[in-house]
Amino acid sequence: MASGFFAILDDIAALMDDVAALSKVATRKTAGILGDDLAVNAEKATGFLSSRELPVLWAITKGSFINKLIILPAVFLLNWLYTPAITFVLILGGFYLAFEGVEKIIEFIFHHQKKGHEVIAEAEKAENAADAEKSKIKSAVTTDFILSVEIVIIALGTVLEGNYPLLTQIISVSVVAMIATVGVYGIVALIVRMDDAGYNLIKKSDGKGFLSALGNGLVNALPVIIKLLSVVGTLALLLVSGGIFSHNIDFLHHLLPNIPATLKEFGIGLIAGLLAVAVFTIVKKSTGALKTN
């Protein structure tokens, strides 16, 4: 009886060792997309009133966890039933990310949107501020869904390389997915609360000494970081989408081999985004014309 109990413990320990090793490798392989995920979601989680930043971020985080709960079983089921379907889903997601990236560029160039505190001040006065907040949360969760699909699929591809039992594969991919959510949104939370931390340091130091200087640095750095994240997040959308197309469409993968991969993927993402925006605009105008008639 005792020997059977210890045998079970040995099996559990071996399982955990395999899970830890696989999760470490898979996390390393998804590091690039995790960096892009951080940039995109940090940009989407900013621009709100200070009192709404954490509630909004928590709403996006909960949406991210729900996304993982949907994606994990779906990806394993698709991989078992019809593996090519995963590629099809990725490509559709790539078009969505490219559309978002190009739409941001178009809005910046042609609509001259106000940024930073001006946006926050106007949002506070606007009657539909709550609707705008819900819309941005929905957009962030949708983008997280696409990025999460790629993270899970990359992690799955890593664990499938070894001859591991299904349970080990499921636990390892799930660990990577959860690390992605906790890590990304944990860092985003630290970023959006930088100014509060800075004000607290200034208050505790009575505006003097190193702590005061550090606090002022945090307060002054936040607007710069938010603007930087806005740019980096837009670029990340196009790079991730271009990477999806390049890695999953053989023709694009071998196209222009002498051009650096990053530049090629950005170009592919930009072209895909322009096509997606054009199709969306045509469909929107056609639908509007039909409704008018």
> Cα–Cα distance between 48 and 188 in angstroms, integer?
13
> Cα–Cα distance between 249 and 182 in angstroms, integer?
31
Most trustworthy range by pLDDT among 8-12, 59-63, 109-113, 135-139: 59-63
| Residue 5 placed within a domain | no
Residue 273 is predicted with a pLDDT of: 92
pTM over 0.85: no
| Residue 293 placed within a domain | no
Residue 115 is predicted with a pLDDT of: 47
| Residue 2 placed within a domain | no
Closest of 254, 280, 270 to residue 94, by C-alpha: 270
| Residue 291 placed within a domain | no
Q: How far apart, in Å, do the first and last CA atoms of the chain sit?
A: 80
Q: How far is CA 291 from the centre of its chain?
A: 36
| Residue 71 placed within a domain | yes
Q: Write the burial class of residue 45 (CB in 10 Å: 0-12 exposed, 13-18 middle, 19+ buried).
A: buried
Range of the domain at 175: 12-286
| Residue 25 placed within a domain | yes
Tokens of 26: 């898979």
Sorting pLDDT into bands at 50, 70 and 90, what band is 172?
confident
Sorting pLDDT into bands at 50, 70 and 90, what band is 160?
confident
> Cα–Cα distance between 46 and 208 in angstroms, integer?
30
> Cα–Cα distance between 206 and 113 in angstroms, integer?
38
pLDDT tens-digit map of 216-248: 888 888 778 877 877 887 888 888 888 889 888
> Cα–Cα distance between 262 and 136 in angstroms, integer?
28
Structural domain count, the chain: 1
Rounded alpha-carbon distances, angstroms, from residue 251 to 84, 246, 248, 268: 16, 8, 9, 12
pLDDT tens-digit map of 3-49: 554 455 454 555 566 566 666 655 665 555 666 667 666 666 666 66
Q: Using H for helix, E for strand and C for coil, what is the string for the chain? A: CHHHHHHHHHHHHHHHHHHHHHHHHHHHHCHHHHHHHHHHHHHHCCCCCHHHHHHHHHHHHHHHHHHHHHHHHHHHHHHHHCCHHHHHHHHHHHHHHHHHHHHHHHHHHHHCCCCCHHHHHHHHHCCCHHHHHHHHHHHHHHHHHHHHHHHHHHHHHHHHCCCCCHHHHHHHHHHHHHHHHHHHHHHHHHHHCHHHHHHHHHHHCCCCHHHHHHHHHHHHHHHHHHHHHHHHHHHHHHHHHHHHHHHHCHHHHCCCCCCCHHHHHHHHHHHHHHHHHHHHHHHHHHHHHHHHC
pLDDT tens-digit map of 63-107: 989 999 998 898 888 888 888 888 888 888 889 888 988 988 888
